[in-house]
Structure formats: structure tokens, C-alpha cells
């Protein structure tokens, strides 16, 4: 392929000297709150995005002021595990340098928003002081490795968190740029020429995402990841090995039919000791065959669809120590979180706490951030961020459990998860005001929409039944809306495409029901569908399955694949 066909970001990576670019100079430039366009691409590999406050963009333009630039910092934390000390540091940084909130993301990471350029180094040095970093939290590399928290299964959990951590470390960029720019300030002196043994100097064609799950919980949404490992547990309760799934992804672009969400294919099984070589070589096949000319066509899902699944599998096996074994049977039954206290096999207590929109913030009537800070100060276990933007307070002794209950009582935090089934199963991406790609509100609007839909559900007599609802401010799919039973995807200000029919275990894509609906039209649009579900559903039938069986969503037509898929061996 000739270089002039490569996407411009490929050129930026090549000439960046292993992700350094002119970041040091850009940070020192006090004449602007921004960094150069090229460095904006490179800083992603260091876990940051340049953003601006979109709520005040127009006003600043009117006053001929530079945009209100700030940075979002995403912390790498495999499996979403945070010690109380790390929590307290992040909480403090949210006040010292951020916008006073902590965001728990859909990939089990912390995000700080609103950091100004001159505070980036201080912030990164502060997270480093509690053994956290933001290396490869964004960028064309493997991102934060997810794994489900499974607090009640202590033995299996210990294995999968160890494995997720090992994958994360194995696929970390080797460049010394992060340490040099953010921590040391000096070039790390070494006689060896720097190189990236797995990625090479142009890294991957695009971002790359990995998740590890223990059935029957699919709370990490394995079908939305480039690469997933589905744990197969033997009769003794040990993780024997993993089924391997490849080619999931959500992002698409309105009006560009060459882009689409795709659920992953389960291609085989590997014993546990072959985990790292498998992860490495799915990455290297994507490195070598991914499309570097068009970033909208560069994810692994397109590599597979361009070259064929059989080709990809053969190429992968040629790089592995042996062929993949046949897929082992597995079963997912949900992709949500289980709220409230639960006691684990080892007698320790775990509380899964609902965090609306993953936003840890003090509001006038709900001092959530303060309450969690008090919990962190006495916690004898750890925190685990979930892929549904919630929080598990894990490994708690009986004595501390009582103290945590008192804290939540004092601050009137709903520890038992008694909100409605809709609210507890809802996800919204960040969207406005920080996301530069947002076309419509999501995190700030979904709670109000749920208020309306809760009334509909209650009138229909559906009670606490959960229907997964996910909203994103644009089609990139950060809250995985195409796997939801009801998905809303931002089209423009206060306008959404409405999708129906995703699988309740996240195993099947939904498809478009109505395009370009205004926010005020959503309730009247969905009310008759929800009423029909309440009166006509079969026993135990999920909303997603019902809308297909009843013909509310046509079983054929343009758009995503739409056959009814059994969660057992969904894609084998």
C-alpha cells in the first residue's frame, strides 16, 4: 500500500517518535489552552482527550474567545478494581483539578473531566502516587481490559482478574514516552533503540478492546468487544480455559452504510495457558490486516468482514502454537448488574450500588460523592467498577458492612437497589457538554425520559421487570445501545433514532424501529409497544424477544442481523 493512501493519523504515529510528538512543547505553551492537532491524536495514547465545554461554545465564539479547552483523563484499571486509597485520590483530584465529579465508564474505568492543560502533569503524577496510570486508556492500542466483578465467586474471580491484568500488561505499549513526558520530565537514558515488540511503530489501525466474562453473566457485553474470552469453569470450580470471540463493535456513522455495529463470533476454545499468545496474535493479525487507509473501516470487525472469518481464523492459527479447539458450551442469561448486598463463597460481603449515569457527584439532595468518600475511609475491601457504570463495594467484613449501611442511611443512598427495573437497567454515555462528537443529550436527559417511561410501565402493570434501555448522544455507541432491548441514538438536538429488540443477555443486535424521533415523541411512540408487551408476552419472555415474535420489529429488511439467537452458543 502506498503511503499517500494511509489515513493521516498513520503519518502522525510514524513521525511521533513512539508517541512523543511535540507534547512537551505543547504543554509548555501558555498562549493557548489547547495542544496542536497532531498532538491531540497522540495524547489519546496517554489516556487523554482534548475537549471544550460545549454549553458555552457559542457564547465564547460571540465574544471572540478561544473555546473553553480542557482535557478528559481516563485511568487504566483492568477489571475496574480500585483500592480505597486510589478511590480517595481520584475523589480528591476531581476537586483539585477536575469538574468536581468522577465518571465511572462503561469499560470499568475512572474518568476526570475539565482538567486544564497546566494541571495535566500534576494530575498524572498524583494518580501515579497511588499506582494508577492512564497509559493506553485511549488510542490505537489495546484499551482497558474488562472482566466481570463476580463478587460472590471468589476463586473464579481471582483467576479472571489475574488473567485480565496479565493481558493488559502483555499488550501495554513499551514506549517510554508516558514516563518521560508526565512523570520524569527527562528522556529515560538507555543504550537500546526503542521499539514496540507487538505493535510496531504505527501501533494498531484503530482502538482495540478486550473483555473476559464468566457465564452466565455477560455484564461486560462480550459481543461488543474486538476480542473476548468466555471462561469455562470445570467441576472443581477452576477456570480450565476460554472460548474465544472476535469481531464485536458498536460504532457506526449516520448515513454511511459501510459502517455498522456487529456482534462478535465465537471461534474456538483455548486452555488457560494459551491466553496470552491468543490475545497477542489476534492483535498482530489485526495489526497486519486492518485497514489503515480509512479509520471508519479500521476496526477488527471490518477486517473480519473484508477478509472472511475463515481467513482470519486460519491466519490466527498459523501464528499460534496450535489450532483452536472446538467451542465449549456456555450460556449467558443477562448483561445487567445484581444490586444490593450479597455474601460470597468466602463469607465476605459485596454491595452492588446503582450509580445513575456512572456519575459520582454531590447534588443538593443526594451527597453520593461524600458518602462514598466516607465509605472509602473505612473500607476493608476494595471497589470494583462495573461495565454498567455501577460500583461494587467488595470484600467487606461483617463489622464494616454495618458501618457502610449506617453511612448510606445517613445520606439516604438507596443501597438495596429499589429503583424501578427500567432505571436499574439503563445506561447513557457521557455526551454533552464534554463529548466533542455528541449530537444530542444522553447522560443529562435519560433520567428524565426514564421518569416518563416508568409511568408507562407502571400503568401497564409491569412492575419491577427489567428492560435494558441505553442512550447515546451519537452513533458511536459508547453505552452499547445496539445491544439494548430499547436503544436511543442521538441524531441531532433533542432527536433520536429508536431501536428495539436487542437480546436480554446482550447477545443480539436490535434494529431500527423509528428514525429521527423528537424527545417529546418518544413516550407516545413506545407506550403502545410496552402495553402490548405487558398483555401479550409469554411467561418469562424478555421485551427484546417479544418485539420480534410479535412482529413489532420485522424479522427481515435492511440493517442489522435480526434472527432470534439463543444465548447458548449464540455465534458458534
Please give the residue ranges that form the binding site for ligand SF4 (CB under 6 A).
Answer: 429-431, 435, 437-438, 442, 472-474, 476-478
To the query of whether residue 435 is one of the catalytic residues in this protein, the response is yes
Q: Residue 472 binds what, of ligand SRM, ligand SF4, none (CB under 5 to 8 Å, by partner type)?
A: ligand SF4
Least Å from the CB of residue 402 to ligand SRM = 32
429 is catalytic: yes
Catalytic residue among 401, 474, 508, 511: 474
Q: Which does 218 bind (CB under 5 to 8 A by kind): ligand SF4, ligand SRM, none?
A: none
C-alpha 286/C-alpha 292 separation (Å) is: 10
Q: Which is nearer to ligand SRM, 7 or 374 (CB)?
A: 7
10 binds, among ligand SF4, ligand SRM, none (CB under 5 to 8 A by kind): none
Give min distance, CB of 74 to ligand SF4, in A: 12
**Smallest distance, Å, CB 42 to ligand SF4?**
19
Q: Is 207 a catalytic residue?
A: yes
| Alpha carbon 330 to chain centroid, angstroms | 23
Residue of 13, 20, 44, 74 marked catalytic: 74
Of the pair 82, 476, the CB lying nearest ligand SRM is at 476
Helix, strand, coil shares of the chain as percentages rounded to 5?
Answer: 35, 20, 45
Choice among 20, 76, 143, 287 that is catalytic: 143
Q: Is residue 209 flagged as an active site residue?
A: yes
The separation between CA 144 and the C-alpha centre of its own chain, rounded to angstroms, equals 8
With b for 16 or more beta-carbon neighbours within 10 A and e for fewer, the 400-418 pattern comes to: bbebbeebbeebebebebe
Report in angstroms how near the CB of residue 358 gets to ligand SF4 at its nearest: 11
CB of 569 vs ligand SF4, minimal distance in Å: 30
CA within 13 Å, CB half, 221? 34
Nearer to ligand SRM, 396 or 512 (CB): 512
Catalytic-role residue among 138, 429, 470, 480: 429
Which among 13, 209, 262, 401 is annotated as catalytic?
209
Hey, CA dihedral for 480, 485, 489, 494, is it positive or negative? negative
Q: In what order do the strands lie in the sheet with 48-52?
A: 48-52, 69-74, 110-115, 102-104, 359-360
**Sole residue written with cell 482502538:** 207
In angstroms, the CA 385 to CA 367 distance is 19
Closest CB to ligand SF4 among residues 250, 372: 250
> Residue 249: CA atoms inside 13 Å, Cβ hemisphere, count?
24
Q: Based on the residue annotation, tell me whether 89 is a catalytic residue of this protein.
A: no
| CB contact at 8 A, 305 and 453 | no
| Distance of closest approach, residue 499 Cβ to ligand SRM, in angstroms | 14
Q: Which is nearer to ligand SF4, 102 or 394 (CB)?
A: 102
Instruction: State which residue, 72 or 457, has the beta carbon closest to ligand SRM.
Output: 72
Min CB(50)–ligand SRM separation in Å = 9
**Residue 296 CB, nearest distance to ligand SRM (Å)?**
7
Catalytic status, residue 348:
no
Query: Could you tell which of ligand SF4, ligand SRM, none binds residue 107, using a CB distance below 5 to 8 A set by kind?
Result: ligand SRM
The angle at the Cα of 481, spanning 313 to 167, to the nearest 5 degrees, equals: 45
Question: Smallest distance, Å, CB 521 to ligand SF4?
Answer: 21
Is 169 marked active-site?
A: no
* DSSP helix/strand/coil, 513: strand
| Residue 209: contacted member of ligand SF4, ligand SRM, none (CB under 5 to 8 Å, by partner type) | ligand SRM
Q: List the catalytic residue out of 313, 435, 508, 537.
A: 435
The DSSP output letter for 94 is H
* DSSP states of 271-335: EGGGHHHHHHHHHHHHHHHS-SS-GGG-SHHHHHHHH-HHHHHHHHHHHSSSPPBPPPP----BS
3-class secondary structure per residue, 167-229: HHHHCCCCCCHHHHHHHHCCCCCCCCCCCCCCCCCCCCCCCECEEEECCCECCCCHHHCCEEE
In whole angstroms, what is the distance from residue 572 CA to residue 570 CA?
Answer: 6
**Interacting partner of 474 out of ligand SRM, ligand SF4, none (Cβ under 5 to 8 A depending on kind):** ligand SF4
Give strand pairing partners of 146. Answer: 211
Residue 156's binding partner out of ligand SF4, ligand SRM, none, with CB under 5 to 8 Å set by partner kind = none
Which positions lie near ligand SRM, rule CB under 6 A? 49, 51, 72, 74, 105-107, 109, 111, 143-144, 207, 209, 221, 224, 249-251, 299, 358, 389, 429-430, 434-437, 476-480
Using the minimum distance from each CB to ligand SF4, give the nearer residue, 150 or 335. 335
Closer of 105 and 175 to ligand SF4 (Cβ)? 105
142 contact choice in ligand SRM, ligand SF4, none (CB below 5 to 8 Å, kind-dependent): none
**The entry of ligand SF4, ligand SRM, none that residue 250 binds, CB within 5 to 8 Å by partner kind:** ligand SRM
How does DSSP classify residue 538?
P
* Intra-chain end-to-end CA distance of the chain, in Å: 34
Q: Which is nearer to ligand SRM, 143 or 281 (CB)?
A: 143
Residue 123's alpha-carbon distances to 57, 104, 180, 302, in angstroms, are 25, 17, 15, 37
Backbone angles phi, psi at 432, to 5 degrees: -70, 145
Q: Which residues are catalytic?
A: 74, 143, 207, 209, 429, 435, 474, 478
Amino acid at each position: 500500500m502506498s503511503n499517500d493512501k494511509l489515513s493521516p493519523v498513520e503519518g502522525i504515529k510514524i513521525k511521533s517518535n513512539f508517541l512523543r510528538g511535540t507534547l512537551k512543547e505543547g504543554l509548555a505553551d501558555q498562549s493557548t489552552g489547547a495542544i496542536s492537532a497532531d498532538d491531540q491524536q497522540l495524547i489519546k495514547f496517554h489516556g487523554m482527550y482534548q475537549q471544550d465545554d460545549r454549553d458555552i461554545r457559542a457564547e465564547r465564539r460571540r465574544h471572540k474567545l478561544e473555546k473553553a479547552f480542557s482535557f478528559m483523563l481516563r485511568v487504566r484499571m483492568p477489571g475496574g478494581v480500585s483500592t480505597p486509597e486510589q478511590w480517595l485520590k481520584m475523589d480528591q483530584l476531581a476537586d483539585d483539578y477536575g469538574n468536581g465529579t468522577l465518571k465511572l465508564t462503561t469499560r470499568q474505568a475512572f474518568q476526570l473531566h475539565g482538567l486544564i492543560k497546566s494541571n495535566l502533569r500534576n494530575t498524572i503524577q498524583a494518580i501515579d502516587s497511588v499506582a494508577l496510570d492512564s497509559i493506553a486508556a485511549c488510542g490505537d492500542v489495546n484499551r482497558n481490559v474488562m472482566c466481570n466483578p463476580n463478587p460472590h465467586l471468589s476463586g473464579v474471580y481471582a483467576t479472571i482478574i489475574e488473567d485480565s491484568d496479565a493481558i493488559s500488561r502483555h499488550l501495554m505499549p513499551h514506549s517510554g514516552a508516558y514516563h518521560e513526558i508526565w512523570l520524569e520530565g527527562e528522556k529515560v537514558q538507555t543504550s537500546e533503540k526503542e521499539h514496540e515488540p507487538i505493535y510496531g511503530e504505527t501501533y494498531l489501525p484503530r482502538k482495540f478492546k478486550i473483555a473476559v466474562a464468566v457465564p452466565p453473566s455477560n455484564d461486560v457485553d462480550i459481543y461488543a468487544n474486538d476480542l473476548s474470552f468466555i471462561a469455562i469453569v470445570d467441576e472443581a470450580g477452576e477456570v480450565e480455559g476460554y472460548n474465544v470471540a472476535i469481531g464485536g463493535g458498536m460504532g457506526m456513522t449516520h448515513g454511511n452504510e459501510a459502517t455498522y455495529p456487529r456482534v462478535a463470533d465465537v471461534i474456538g476454545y483455548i486452555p488457560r495457558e494459551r491466553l496470552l499468545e491468543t490475545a497477542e496474535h489476534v492483535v498482530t493479525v489485526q495489526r497486519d490486516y486492518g485497514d489503515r487507509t480509512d479509520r471508519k473501516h479500521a476496526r477488527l470487525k471490518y477486517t473480519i468482514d473484508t477478509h472472511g472469518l475463515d481467513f482470519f481464523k486460519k491466519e490466527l492459527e498459523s501464528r499460534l502454537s496450535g489450532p483452536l479447539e472446538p467451542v465449549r458450551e456456555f450460556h449467558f442469561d443477562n448483561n445487567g448488574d445484581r444490586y444490593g448486598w450479597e455474601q460470597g463463597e468466602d463469607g465476605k460481603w459485596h454491595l452492588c450500588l446503582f450509580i445513575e449515569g456512572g456519575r459520582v457527584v454531590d447534588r443538593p439532595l443526594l451527597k453520593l460523592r461524600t458518602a462514598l468518600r466516607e465509605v472509602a475511609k473505612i473500607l476493608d475491601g476494595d471497589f470494583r467498577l462495573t461495565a454498567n457504570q455501577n460500583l461494587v463495594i467488595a470484600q467487606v467484613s461483617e463489622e464494616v458492612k454495618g458501618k457502610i449501611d449506617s453511612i448510606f442511611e445517613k445520606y439516604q443512598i438507596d443501597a438495596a437497589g429499589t429503583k424501578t427495573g427500567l432505571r436499574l437497567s439503563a445506561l447513557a454515555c457521557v455526551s454533552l457538554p464534554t463529548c466533542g462528537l455528541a449530537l444530542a443529550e444522553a447522560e443529562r436527559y435519560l433520567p428524565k425520559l426514564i421518569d416518563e417511561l416508568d409511568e408507562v410501565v407502571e400503568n401497564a402493570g409491569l412492575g419491577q421487570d427489567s428492560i435494558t434501555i441505553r442512550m447515546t448522544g451519537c452513533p458511536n455507541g459508547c453505552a452499547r445501545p445496539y445491544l439494548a432491548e430499547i436503544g436511543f441514538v442521538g441524531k441531532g438536538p433533542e432527536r433520536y433514532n429508536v431501536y428495539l429488540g436487542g437480546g436480554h443477555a446482550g447477545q443480539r443486535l436490535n434494529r431500527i424501529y423509528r428514525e429521527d424521533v423528537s424527545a417529546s415523541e418518544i413516550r407516545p411512540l413506545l407506550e403502545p409497544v410496552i402495553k402490548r408487551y405487558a398483555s401479550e408476552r409469554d411467561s418469562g419472555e424478555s421485551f427484546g424477544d417479544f418485539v420480534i415474535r410479535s412482529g413489532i420489529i420485522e424479522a427481515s429488511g435492511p440493517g442489522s442481523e435480526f434472527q432470534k439467537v439463543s444465548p447458548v452458543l449464540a455465534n458458534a
